[in-house]
Structure formats: structure tokens, C-alpha cells
């Protein structure tokens, strides 16, 4: 029997992003900065004021005009603190000035106080070279009115929020949150407050996925844990309401109990199933009653990797985010990989002294080794390597942001 070729990870991702672009979230909401972290800008933000808004001192020191420099020592005619406007500088004098204070009109140089001496009569002598514009942050040198600051589709990091605040922009339009209905399937699963009977295990996937989704700014509708029975799964999905996306874990292989697969093949439209990815081959994408449906494999390692590599970029693109590619950094491998694989493999590695170190348990069934890892080493199909070779590493830190 011919086994159909597995879908390559890059092809799957390309298709997922196209699907996401066809189902954008149009609605926008306006939020205060304190609530906007992690959300996606619904439109471009253009500078409405220059930054700095006026030329100001980069140092504590003395401001003067270079034409008066030959006259040093100079008397001090005024003191300007940050937050004050100051007076035009009287010719032949200098101004005591502090960091962030506006440069008095007529001054064109600041000498830092470490290079200045206050004489007994109060006049100021300077040491060191003097140059026009020294220690002055010129008006508009960082940002000029009209400049594009943050493009539509940018995720609002704490730093981006600061850029908005610099402009006096305290409310911002963001794309609404994606509503994600989340369920885990498996007769063997129990949750909080339940005692596992022999053969049962605690449902860890839903905990991981809920937390990842919340970090990404999604609204999670928790459909709970459902036994492997079509009728029960259908009933749970009724509670998905107006979800923009359904995510399940478990039940997408070809075993008898794999009812998510059966349900989607029977009542849905399966667009993607069986990928050349390890761990996570049974990853499934379908439409169910018109709602996009991602079926993640049940093995905790598989569920984690396929969520991060495939579901996450899809979700981010649905939410309008422009940049969804994972951050890849070349790292030197600290181990040999002699056997070429037929699936693109994601190895859980830590980075020690600049080298990727393979964590001992790479089983798809384990979650724990991912907690020892700093991220995933991407091993393309058919690749072997030796210690000292370089491969792409995807830091967890970039995937959890």
C-alpha cells in the first residue's frame, strides 16, 4: 500500500497563514495602555509631536554659545531644571543646566559638569574640547512629526507602549481578541479534584494550551475534558458558541478511539492531516460547521511543538499580526545526529556555553524535558550533523512572547 507523502512543515505553515488571512478579525477595540500589552495595532501610528519636543540637555552641566567660549570663565546667568522653560541666554554668560532641561535660546553647546570648575567668584571655567551641539539632544532628532512609529499589525510590547506614551497617546485601537474554544479528549483524562483511576492520567495539555493562548491575547472558552465519544464531543462543541477557532488535543491519530479525526472526516472538511513533523505528525486543520478547527495530537510533547510551530503563527496572523515567523538563531550543536529523519524534527535543547545540548528525553510523550530546554533545534528532513555544525535554534522565549 502506498502511504501518501506527509505534508512538509513549511508548506503546512504557508497554507495555514493563507487560511488565516482569509479569516481576519475585522472588529477593533480601543484600550488604555495598561490593557493593551500583547495586543495588535489595528492601524498605523504616526508621530503627532517631535521627540524630543524641544532641544534639551543630555547632561548635567553648563550651556553656552560657542562664540562666548573664548571668554571663559563665564558668569552663570540662570539655572534651568528639567520641567522649566528657561530664558533666552544673556550674551557672554552660561546657564547652569540639568539633564532633560530645555536648551536656552542662544545656547548651542553643553559641557558636562565633570569638565567644569566653579571658581571662587562663581564664574565657570571649562576643560576639554567644545563642539557645536555637544551634549544637546536636538528637537525631532529621535522622531519627527508625521513619521511612522508603529505599523498596523505590530504587537504592542511594553516598549511599544512606551513609544505611544512618549507621544502622549494613551488610548490605542487594537484588533479584537480571537475567541478560542479549547477542549481535550480522552477517556483516560482527569482534572483538578479528580482522583485518577488505574490507567488514568491528569490532563496537562489543556493547562499548557490555555496558558499559551492567554499569553497571546486570546479569549479562551474552556470546553473542558471530553470522553472519546462522538455524541459527547458534539455536545461539547455546541458550547463553542461564536468561537473564531476550536482547538482540541488528542484523538487525531487513526486508532479506534480517535474520535476527533472521525468527527472531522464525517462532519467537517479536513484541509490538512499528517505532517512531516516530529513530534506531532497527526496535526489536523479542518473546518467544522464553518469554524476553523485545529486538532492537536494528544502526546504532550507533540501538542506543545505543533502548537508553537503551526497553531501559534496561524492564530497570530488571524489577529492581524504582521510578524509571525519564529525567531531562528544559528547555534553550534554540541552533539552528533547520525540518522537522517523523514520528518522535520524539533529537538528540545538547552544552550550551554554557546552550544546546543540535547535534553535526555525527546519522547513525544514527555513535557518535562521541555522545561530543561531553552528552545527547539530545527532539524530539516534528511539532515545529519556532527558536533560543531550549526543549525537553527528557536528560543522558547521568542515563542512565549
Rounded (5°) CA angle 184-185-191: 60
Taking the least distance from each CB to ligand AMP, the nearer of 188 and 374 is 188
Could you say which of ligand AMP, Mg ion, none residue 189 binds, taking C-beta under 5 to 8 angstroms by partner kind? ligand AMP
Residue 297 lies near Mg ion (rule: CB under 5 A)? no
Cβ pair 285, 272 in contact under 8 A:
yes
Neighbouring CB atoms inside 10 A of 13's CB total 19
Given 96, 137, 176, 206, the residue binding ligand AMP (CB under 6 A): 206
The residue assigned the cell 567668584 is 121
Given 188, 244, 345, 378, the residue binding ligand AMP (CB under 6 A): 188
Given 38, 251, 280, 395, the residue binding Mg ion (CB under 5 A): 251
The CB-of-202 to ligand AMP minimum distance in angstroms stands at: 7
Residue whose C-alpha is closest to residue 48's, from 195, 147, 162: 147
Neighbouring CB atoms inside 10 A of 357's CB total 17
The CB-of-155 to ligand AMP minimum distance in angstroms stands at: 28
Residue 186 lies near Mg ion (rule: CB under 5 A)? yes
Taking the least distance from each CB to ligand AMP, the nearer of 16 and 226 is 226
Number of residues forming the site for ligand AMP (CB under 6 A): 18
Cβ pair 247, 222 in contact under 8 A:
no
For residues 207-266, which are near ligand AMP according to CB under 6 A? 249-251, 253, 255
Given 38, 61, 104, 186, the residue binding ligand AMP (CB under 6 A): 186
Which range binds Mg ion by CB under 5 A, 40-48, 153-161, 218-226, 296-304? Answer: 296-304
Residue whose C-alpha is closest to residue 373's, from 342, 340, 331, 338: 331
Taking only Cα atoms into account, the Rg of the chain, rounded to an integer number of angstroms, comes to: 30
Residue whose C-alpha is closest to residue 352's, from 368, 370, 334: 334
Pairing of strands 189-190, 201-202: parallel
Q: Which residue of this chain has its Cβ atom nearest to ligand AMP in the complex?
A: 298
Reported residue count of the chain is 401
Residue 258 C-alpha cell reads as 480517535
Q: 140: burial class by Cβ within 10 Å (0-12, 13-18, 19+)?
A: middle
Residue 378 lies near ligand AMP (rule: CB under 6 A)? no
**Cα–Cα distance for residue pair 401/398, rounded to 1 Å:** 5
The residue assigned the cell 552528533 is 336
Which range binds Mg ion by CB under 5 A, 8-16, 180-188, 214-222, 281-289? Answer: 180-188
Residue 184 lies near ligand AMP (rule: CB under 6 A)? yes
Taking the least distance from each CB to ligand AMP, the nearer of 61 and 297 is 297
Asked if the bond preceding 73 is cis, omega within 30° of 0, the reply is: yes
Tell me the per-residue interface mask from 196 to 235 with Mg ion, x by CB under 5 A, - otherwise. ----------------------------------------
Task: Give the residues lining the site for Mg ion (CB under 5 A).
Answer: 186, 250-251, 298
Task: Give the residues lining the site for ligand AMP (CB under 6 A).
Answer: 184, 186, 188-189, 201, 203-206, 249-251, 253, 255, 297-300
Amino acid at each position: 500500500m502506498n502511504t501518501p507523502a506527509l505534508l512538509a512543515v513549511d508548506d503546512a505553515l504557508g497554507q495555514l497563514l493563507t487560511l488565516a488571512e482569509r479569516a481576519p478579525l475585522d472588529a477593533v477595540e480601543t484600550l488604555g495602555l495598561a490593557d493593551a500589552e500583547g495586543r495588535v495595532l489595528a492601524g498605523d501610528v504616526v508621530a503627532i509631536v517631535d521627540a524630543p519636543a524641544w532641544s534639551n540637555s543630555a547632561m548635567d552641566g553648563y550651556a553656552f554659545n560657542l562664540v562666548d567660549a573664548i571668554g571663559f570663565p563665564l558668569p552663570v546667568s540662570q539655572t534651568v531644571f528639567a520641567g522649566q522653560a528657561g530664558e533666552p541666554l544673556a550674551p557672554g554668560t552660561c546657564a547652569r543646566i540639568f539633564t532633560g532641561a530645555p536648551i536656552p535660546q542662544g545656547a548651542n553647546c553643553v559641557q558636562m559638569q565633570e569638565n567644569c570648575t566653579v571658581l571662587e567668584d562663581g564664574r565657570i571655567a571649562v576643560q576639554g574640547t567644545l563642539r557645536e551641539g555637544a551634549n544637546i539632544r536636538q528637537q525631532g532628532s529621535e522622531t519627527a512629526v508625521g513619521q511612522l512609529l508603529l505599523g498596523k499589525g505590530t504587537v504592542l510590547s511594553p516598549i511599544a507602549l512606551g513609544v505611544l506614551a512618549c507621544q502622549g497617546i494613551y488610548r490605542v485601537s487594537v484588533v479584537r481578541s480571537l475567541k478560542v474554544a479549547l477542549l481535550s479528549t480522552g477517556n483516560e483524562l482527569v482534572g483538578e479534584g479528580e482522583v485518577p483511576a488505574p490507567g488514568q492520567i491528569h490532563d496537562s495539555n489543556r493547562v499548557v494550551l490555555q496558558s499559551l493562548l492567554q499569553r497571546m491575547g486570546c479569549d479562551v472558552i474552556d470546553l473542558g475534558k471530553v470522553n472519546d465519544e462522538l455524541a459527547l464531543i458534539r455536545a461539547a462543541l455546541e458550547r463553542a458558541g461564536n468561537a473564531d477557532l476550536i482547538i482540541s488535543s488528542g484523538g487525531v491519530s487513526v486508532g479506534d478511539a480517535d474520535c476527533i479525526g472521525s468527527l472531522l472526516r464525517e462532519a467537517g472538511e479536513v484541509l490538512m492531516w499528517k505532517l512531516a513533523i516530529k513530534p506531532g505528525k497527526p496535526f489536523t486543520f479542518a473546518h467544522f460547521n464553518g469554524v476553523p478547527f485545529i486538532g492537536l495530537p494528544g502526546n504532550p510533547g507533540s501538542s506543545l511543538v505543533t502548537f508553537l510551530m503551526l497553531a501559534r503563527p496561524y492564530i497570530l496572523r488571524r489577529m492581524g499580526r504582521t510578524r509571525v515567523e519564529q525567531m531562528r538563531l544559528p547555534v553550534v550543536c554540541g552533539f552528533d545526529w547520525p540518522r537522517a529523519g523523514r520528518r522535520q524534527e524539533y529537538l528540545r535543547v538547552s544552550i550551554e556555553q554557546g552550544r546546543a545540548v540535547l535534553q535526555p528525553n525527546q519522547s513525544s510523550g514527555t513535557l518535562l524535558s521541555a522545561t530543561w530546554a531553552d528552545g527547539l533545534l530545527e532539524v530539516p528532513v534528511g539532515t545529519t550533523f556532527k558536533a560543531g555544525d550549526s543549525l537553527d535554534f528557536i528560543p522558547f522565549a521568542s515563542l512565549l512572547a
